[in-house]
Structure 1
Amino acid sequence: MSSISEQNDTETNINVKDITIVCADSAPLAASLFSPSLPAKAAIMIGPATGIKRQFYRAFATYLAEQGFGVITYDNRGIGDSVKGSVKQSDASLVTWGEQDMPAVLESLKLHFPHVPYFLVGHSAGGQLLGLMYNVRDLTAFCNFGSSSGSLRNMRKSYLIKAHFFMNVFIPVSNLLFGHTKSQWVGMGEPLPKKVARQWQKWCNGRGYVKTGFGSDVIQHHYDTIQIPSKWLLANDDDIANIRNVHDMLSVFPNMDAEIEELEPKALNVNEIGHMKFFSRKCQHLWPKVTDYFKRYM
């Protein structure tokens, strides 16, 4: 692991350092390390949503470090600063994100913050893929926001046409024409490697998201043996991770007890939360829902 740059948050005395994490298959990932001013009492990896860069989670990661947690944010291979060459040349897939990237980040977290409890905050795909991690049992607990199966069949009619267009028209046409999916053209994050987009399309057209790939895309997994405590947060104005899709995702974890909390924006004094805004500063008064949950296991 090599350091790229380092800086301090002068207001909170949080140290933020850009690092490189090398996966078992030698793929390098761009990451950021957030260290609290005192020795960390626990450590958290933030698993990003599909096509979302680590900078999106900076404010949330800073908050976690202020609460005494060591934190790592990262760009999955083929995304953001982890793109090597062009996105068109990337061989990344959702499976490699779960099997290679996430375990490497957890190992780096353990190296930087030894002998403390380890947690995952998963956003969408960052919580869906944890059953592919060979070291998933090193996590003490996890808390997901907006993580669900993303099944098209469970989406509200008002969003269904848009979702079908993106998954079943835009992705295959974009992959055909450009060799990758230009998600940024439709406000869906960073450009996506074609295998990532192709698996995303396949899994969201099925049931149980990653379960759709069992026996084909996914040869080995740990979903059926995971018994780690978990909390699943969702917003009731989220068109993707609605309550039916959260339950559909949970069906992939047959031996895991899970808490589910549905957030109603108006009752929480915010105009909207949706699929993305939980991590914005406008929702920072909701962030203790994550830290309070983890403190039960420290």
Structure 2
Amino acid sequence: MTRTSSTDGAERVEITCADGVRLLGHFVRSRSDAPAGLPVLLSPATGVKQHYYLRFVHWLAQQGHDVLVFDYRGIGLSLHGPLQHCRATLAEWGQQDQVAALEWLLQRTGSEQALLLGHSAGGQMIGLLPNHQRVARLVGVSASTGWLRGMRPGFRWKAWFGLRGVIPLGVHLKGYAPTAAVGLGENLPAQVGLQWGQWCAAGGYATNAVRHQPERDFHALVRTPITVLHASDDDIATEATVADLLRTFPAAAKQAVRIEPAAHGLKSLGHIDWFRQSHQAVWPTIAAALRGPVILSAS
């Protein structure tokens, strides 16, 4: 376990996966006199760098949690070398990266279990984690399968064009997925981008990674309580795509909570904006979901 200091009270850390890939992250200790909660692993959305979450991470530490956030292989600080040479897959983000980050956090804090706060893709892959039993609760923000047929019609065609048209063409021409060109976050390693499009077209998301590998498929075994928070103005995490995700965990206690931005004094919330400082009015709702299995009010 290698650690180096960082600014603003966040410790820059190195996490080594079972296959030897090095991930870089930031760890922030609890800064509250209140009773400590379980440590939190914050797993980012596809194509979103960890630095986007740091203000929220510091805020969550003030609520009594140790927090680890990191970049997946091929993204941000965890990209080593030219993007077109990166052979990372989307499945590895779950099977390797989340697994290693969770183990690092548990070892560092001495806790038996942690809370998994997953933004979009970060909350969709617990069924790929052999150590899923060590997640006490999963809170997925904007988490869904991204099933194209479950999206609103207008956005569905835009997403289809980007995921099934621009990305495959870009991989062929550039050697990586040019997702930034179509407003889908940072550019991605080729196989990450291709798998993303395939999983969204098929539905069921990460179940597609282990369809013929029952020994690596933990979806039916997951009993971690799951809460999904999704905004009423989210074009990706709709009621249909959230339901498509939750059905993949038949043994888990689960709930979906639809959030109205106006109830928090916000004009919009969408898929990405939850963790922006400008949208911190919704942060207590996320913290409440982490603390307890049931949210009594969506507002």
Indicate the residue corresponding to 1:31 in structure 2.
Answer: 25
Counterpart-to-counterpart distance in 2, 1:225 and 1:34: 31
Residue 144 of structure 2 contacts residue 243 of structure 2 at CA under 8 Å; is this kept in 1? yes
Task: Please say if residues 270 and 282 of structure 1, whose CA atoms lie closer than 8 Å, have aligned partners that are also in contact.
Answer: no
- Answer yes or no: is 1:186 the counterpart of 2:182: yes
Deviation sequence 1:171-221 (CA, Å, 0-9, x none): 110000001111122221111011101111111001211223333588612
CA distance in structure 1 between the aligned counterparts of 2:282 and 2:240, rounded to whole angstroms? 23
Per the alignment, in what secondary structure is the counterpart of residue 292 of structure 1? helix
| Aligned residue number for residue 4 of structure 2 | 4
Corresponding residue of 2:109? 113
Deviations 1:226-278 (CA, angstroms, capped at 9, x unpaired): 11111110001110110100001111111112121101112321011100011
For residues 89 and 132 of structure 1, do their structure 2 counterparts lie closer, same or farther at Cα, with a shift above 3 Å needed? Answer: same
Letter in 2 for 1:96: E
User: Given residue 36 of structure 1, which amino acid in structure 2 is its aligned partner?
Assistant: S
Q: How does 1:7-86 map to 2 (within 5 A)?
A: 7-8=7-8, 15-37=9-31, 40-86=36-82
Q: Distance in 2 between matches of 1:128 and 1:294?
A: 16
- Which of 132, 137, 156 is the matching residue for 2:128? 132
Please name the residue that 1:222 is paired with: 218
Pairs aligned (count): 291
CA 1:169–1:87: 2 relative to 1, 3 Å: same
Pairwise CA RMSD of aligned residues?
1.7
Q: What SS does structure 2 have at the residue aligned with 1:270?
A: coil
Secondary structure of the residue aligned to 1:29 is strand
1:190 aligned partner, one-letter code: E
Contact conserved, 1:95 with 1:217, CA < 8 A, in 2?
A: no
Deviation, structure 1 residue 293: 2.6
Question: Does the residue aligned with 1:244 lie in a helix, a strand or coil?
Answer: helix
Residue in structure 1 matched with residue 240 of structure 2 by the alignment:
244
In 2, the alpha carbon distance for the partners of 1:139 and 1:214 equals 20
CA shift, 1:167, in A, is: 1.1
1:147-189 CA distances to partner (integer Å, 9 max, x unpaired)? Answer: 1011111111111221111011101100000011111222211
Q: Secondary structure at the match of 1:252?
A: coil
Contact 2:207 2:217 in 1 (8 A): no
CA distance in 1, matches of 2:4, 2:13: 5
- Kept in 2, the 8 Å contact 1:237–1:272? The answer is yes
Q: Structure 1 pair 190/267, CA: closer, same or farther in 2 (3 Å)? A: same
Runs of at least 4 residues off by over 4 Å: 216-219
1:201 to 2:203 alignment: no
In structure 1, runs of 5+ residues without a counterpart are: 9-14
Q: State the alpha-carbon separation in 2 of the partners of residues 292 and 135 from structure 1.
A: 24
Q: Deviations over 1:53-97 (max 9, x none)?
A: 000111111111011100000000000111111111111111111
- In structure 2, relative to structure 1, the CA distance for the partners of 1:43 and 1:256 (3 Å cut) is same
User: Matched residues in 2 for 1:227 and 1:50: separation?
Assistant: 25
**Residues 99 and 129 of structure 2 are in contact (CA less than 8 Å); yes or no, is this contact kept in structure 1?**
yes
Distance (Å, rounded) in 2 between the aligned partners of 1:207 and 1:23: 28
Aligned letter for 1:32? H
Runs of 5+ unmatched residues, structure 2: 294-299
Q: TM-score, normalised by structure 2?
A: 0.93
CA distance in 2, matches of 1:4, 1:186: 35
Task: Report the Cα distance in structure 2 between the residues aligned to 1:201 and 1:64, rounded to whole angstroms.
Answer: 32
* TM-superposed deviation, 1:284: 1.3
TM-score by length of 1: 0.93
Identity of aligned residues (%): 33
Once the two structures are superposed, the pairs formed by residues 162-173 of structure 1 within 5 Å of their partners are 162-173=158-169
